[in-house]
Amino acid sequence: MSLTAQNKQERTGRLSADDWAQAALDMIAEQGVAAVAVEPLARRLGVTKGSFYWHFPSRDALLVAALERWEKVEQETVFGQLEPIPDPRERLRALFTLVAHEFKSHVIYSELLKALDHPAVQPVIGRVSERRLDYLTASFRQAGLSRTDAQHRARLLYAAYVGFLQLNLQLHQARMQHDEFEAYVEHMMATLIPST
């Protein structure tokens, strides 16, 4: 049940579906979605690949389970920490700093962005994005923007965030350092979040 990794030799008994799902998530964080393969995972868990199919009907089902697990945790941590903040501008700012600093969750999000190719990844990322987008839109409305303005602004802000992650993944040279990152986030918020 624990969300922390349980590595190879550390187990005594037999495995559960959850163990496989967690191993898959760890693999995504370490080496990306493509690295989630039955044989290597079985090796890592110290069993034969045949046993995998007692727990899941397919590799895809494992991926889906792992991603659902991630989705639940990320939703709870992100929105759980945001709800108590009353001021909409503060909340917008908090969303970005949170999402940029929650380390492991953030690493996995980046990996998923890279693997949008995969049919199991798309719906999860889609739901997460939609939730965040709705949240941003609502906050902009509370901050006094009209319906369409709020929608456009939310889309622009979230696109700026996702695109920024993408750029950081893309650029070989010129990847940003921590300070520069903070400066950029400041610029983004100053430009896109209404200060009135």
Nearer to a copy of itself, 49 or 187 (CB): 187
Give the H or E element holding residue 69: helix 59-82
Q: How far is CA 178 from CA 49, 101, 185, in A?
A: 41, 11, 11
Say which DSSP state 176 is in. Answer: P
Nearer to a copy of itself, 45 or 124 (CB): 124
Binding DNA (rule: CB under 7 A), the pick from 7, 16, 97, 191 is 16
Residues 115, 33 contacting (CB under 8 angstroms): yes
Residues 63, 98 contacting (CB under 8 angstroms): no
Beta-sheet strands, E only, within 85-169 = none
Which residues of the shown chain bind a copy of itself in the complex (CB under 8 A)? 32-34, 111, 113-117, 122-123, 125-126, 129-130, 133, 152-153, 155-156, 158-164, 166-167, 169-174, 183-184, 187-188, 191-192
Q: How far is the CB of 173 from a copy of itself (least distance, A)?
A: 8
Considering only 37-45, 90-98, 119-127, 144-152, which stretch makes contact with DNA by CB under 7 A? 37-45
